Structure 1
Amino acid sequence: MPSDLAKTLTYLALHLTIGFSVAYVLTGSLAIAGGIALIEPCINAVAFFFHEKAWKRMGQRRTAGAALMAA
């Protein structure tokens, strides 16, 4: 499993737990807390995955640019 995907999945598990806990404390409803905990972190995890990919790509471009400047 690629490290970006593993990192995303562990982040998702943490976010689901925190999201559910906070929503339950605020609402007292298992159904509402469950809905919030599933929807918001899942969207965030997808965004995080692509955010990581973009940062990695920018780092590769920077490295390639530095190599060109050094040549």
Structure 2
Amino acid sequence: MLKTFTFAILHFSVAFLVVYALTGSFLIGGAVALIEPTINTLVFYFHEKVWRHFERHHKTTLAA
């Protein structure tokens, strides 16, 4: 769990620093640092669902 927490802090920090460097705005940097990882987590969830479907279909095709 500690590794996950430290990775989350790293992810938020990178997102903030990149956006702050591009915009010079703490507000926009902070907003993006909160929103981007949240959306990325949701996208990852659906990516995994699609990937599992692909793997099941591929295994079925190979077995046939």
TM-score computed with the length of structure 2 as normaliser: 0.70
Give matches, 1:33-44, under 5 Å.
Answer: 33-44=25-36
The question of 1:55 aligning with 2:55 is answered no
Q: Distance in 1 between matches of 2:56 and 2:13?
A: 35
Instruction: Give the secondary-structure state (helix, strand or coil) at the position aligned to 1:59.
Output: helix
Give matches, 1:1-71, under 5 Å.
Answer: 1=1, 9=8, 10-24=10-24, 33-71=25-63
Q: Distance in 2 between matches of 1:40 and 1:46?
A: 10
For residue 40 of structure 1, report the CA deviation from its aligned partner: 2.0
Output one character per residue of 1:27-57: Cα deviation in whole Å (capped at 9) or x when no partner. Answer: xxxxxx1111111231111111111111111
Q: Distance in 1 between matches of 2:57 and 2:50?
A: 10
* Runs of at least 4 residues off by over 3 Å: none
Q: Distance in 2 between matches of 1:11 and 1:58?
A: 24
Greater RCO (CA < 8 Å, at least 6 residues apart): 1
TM-score computed with the length of structure 1 as normaliser: 0.65
For residue 12 of structure 1, report the CA deviation from its aligned partner: 2.4
Amino acid at match of 1:42: L
Number of equivalences: 60
